[in-house]
Structures are given as C-alpha cells and as structure tokens.
Amino acid sequence: MIKAGIIGATGYAGGELVRLLLGHKDAEIIWYGSKSFVGSKYAEIYQNMFQLVEADCLDDNIEELSEQADVIFTATPQGYLSSVLTEDILNKVKVIDLSADYRIKDVSVYEKWYGITHKSPHLVEEAVYGLCEENRGKIKNARLVANPGCYPTCSFLAIAPLVKERLIDEKSIIIDAKSGTTGAGRGAKTDNLFCEVNENIKAYGVASHRHTPEIEQQLGEAAGSPARISFTPHLVPMMRGILVTAYADVRPGVTKEQIRNAYVKAYENEYFVRVLKERICPQTKWVEGSNFADVNAVYDERTGRVVMMGAIDNLVKGAAGQAVQNMNLMFGLNEQEGLQLVPVFP
C-alpha cells in the first residue's frame, strides 16, 4: 500500500486528489495537509467526505511528512515547494508537484512570468514534466514530477500531433481557452462569487497568463524548434472543464487526411486521450469527472487554417487525475489504476 501525503489538501485540486485516492486500491492517504485548517476534521471542510475520511487536517511540515510517506503531492501556491524541497527529502520520498515550480526548465523564464525568485533551481533539471502520454519513460524513474498545468495539458494534447508531424506552422498557433471556475481556486474572492461568475464570460490574463511559457516550452520541444503562441484564457460559468480551441496555419500541401492521421497515430494506444470521430467537437461535459482528454481537429480549406480542439476536466486530467497517473507510473502500477472513471453525464 502506497502511503500518500497531500500538502494543500483543502483546495479544489487537493480535494479531488482525495476523491481519487480514496478509490485507488493500492494507495492510502496518511496526511491531509492544510495551512488554513490545521486541526479541523477534513470532512468538515469537505462535507462530501463525511464518514469517508475521519482524519484531521495536519500542517505542511514536509520534513516530517517525508519520514512517513512514500509519495507527497503538493497542491500548493507557486513558490511553496521550491522553497522547502531538498535533496534529502527526495532521497526519502517521491514528490509530485501540482504547482508550477518545476515545470519551466529555464528558471529565468519562470522567475519572469511568476514574479518569484526560485529557491531551488538546482532541482529543476531533474524534475520530469509529468505529461504521461509524452514522458512516460522518464516519469517511471523520476523522484520529482512536475505535474502539468491544466491549460498546458489540454493545449498540448490538442495541438501536439500536428506540431510533431510538422503539419502546421508552430509560429502561427493561437490558443483560445475556456475554463470552469474551479480553476480559480477556493479562495474567497469577490470575482469568484456565484453572482459575479454566473451568466458571464470574460477573458483574463490576456497576453500575460503564466501558462503561456509552459505551453511554448512543450510545443517547442515537440516541434523541435521554438514556438511562440498567443494564449487567452476565459472564465466560463461552470465548475469543471477546460475547452481549448486552437488555430494554426496549415503548411502548404498538407491534406485533411494527414491531419486526421496525425491524431490517430499519436493516440491510438493512449487510453486517456480519445480522438473523436470526424466533425464531432469535444465538449467538456463528456469528460467531466474523468481522466479523459477528448481531442479533434477541423481543417478549413477555405482559410488554410486548422481548428484544433481539446476538452478535459481541469481537476482530473488537468490536475489530480494526471497526478495519480504519474504516481501509478512512478510506482510501477497499472497506469489506469484508480482512474477508470466513467464521465458523469449529465
């Protein structure tokens, strides 16, 4: 039985981790860490867990936790883990970080976009970017996994097949993304009140969202040459789900069939990525509660552009689900263990 500790268990991603790990036959949660709720019963913070979790919330003492756990999940604010993680901890326990601290390989880029001085840059190189479909091999042997951001996961899975096959111009990529409100966290902010979010849609972080360099890094790596994207996230009046609609110029001579085939080839052996039938557009509702990413593309011959689409549940494939998928890989388990979740509809 894998002993798992969670630091940041009372945020939405942390809560989802608890939900998924409770259904995982080879893991048990031994530490519900929460800065704000130390000493409270976890099930009083998340009443859905009543009679399912009896534990109290503990603090975020990662040193102590590293003595007890086999794996630590950190669903913490940016800058937390990088300020406390040590070689010593990594010698004792595997770490899966749901924050952005170890995702960006170029520390100066991280520091610029996040406005934070990185406190453990020496560990960045070692960290494996935990997009399982892409880095499966490396993840299996990793001590430290940087669990991908929600937008980057969905964007990459929707776009990468065409970039890898060099069917689109990687300088022309525009990503218009739409997210449910869990992405904004459980903090008490006026902007996230029901009455402000409901019956509303808006763009935010235009030309400045922190997931931009992460997406550029991953797409650039897949392309073999730097990518420069426009990325615009939007807040949608729903709880879960990310939809990515991406646009790019198709390279001359590329056919509709090549585009289709690129997706089929990329994902034919991937359980969690579903290439929808032609003309079927992904919908966030079809993946809700599950670890699936639904993708598809439409080639618009009239304009010479392709519209690439992807949908995930931001809390599952975009956060906790992918984290568990990473854990499964790191511990040599069946990659799907605990993640065979049928999407909840409606």
Query: Which residues carry out catalysis?
Result: 150
Q: Among 11, 14, 241, 318, which residue sits at the site for a second copy (rule: CB under 8 A)?
A: 241
Q: Is 269 in the site for a second copy (CB under 8 A)?
A: no
Measured from the Cβ of residue 228, the count of other Cβ atoms closer than 10 Å reads 12
Q: Is 214 in the site for a second copy (CB under 8 A)?
A: no
Among 22, 30, 107, 109, binds a second copy (CB under 8 A): 22
- What is the smallest separation between the CB atom of 153 and a second copy, expressed in angstroms? 17
307 counts as binding a second copy under rule CB under 8 A = yes
Instruction: Among 138, 186, 251, 256, indicate the residue that binds a second copy (CB under 8 A).
Output: 186
Q: Are strands 71-74 and 2-7 parallel, antiparallel or unpaired?
A: parallel
Structure token digits, residue 336 = 């799907």
Query: Could you say which of 284, 291, 322, 326 contacts a second copy (CB under 8 A)?
Result: 284
- In the bound complex, what is the minimum distance in angstroms from residue 190's beta carbon to a second copy? 5
DSSP 235-246: E-SSSS-EEEEE
124 vs 295 by CB, closer to a second copy: 295
Residue with tokens 């922190």: 210
Structure token digits, residue 67 = 């003595």
| Closest by CA position to 244, among listed 312, 142, 181 | 312
User: Quick one: tokens of 238?
Assistant: 């729903």
Q: Is 117 in the site for a second copy (CB under 8 A)?
A: no
- Contact with a second copy (CB under 8 A): which of 38, 64, 117, 202? 202
CB of residue 89 vs a second copy: minimum separation in angstroms? 29
Report whether 57 contacts 68 (CB < 8 A): no
Residue 232 in contact with a second copy, rule: CB under 8 A:
yes
In order of 67, 238, 254, the CA distances from 300 in angstroms are 56, 29, 12
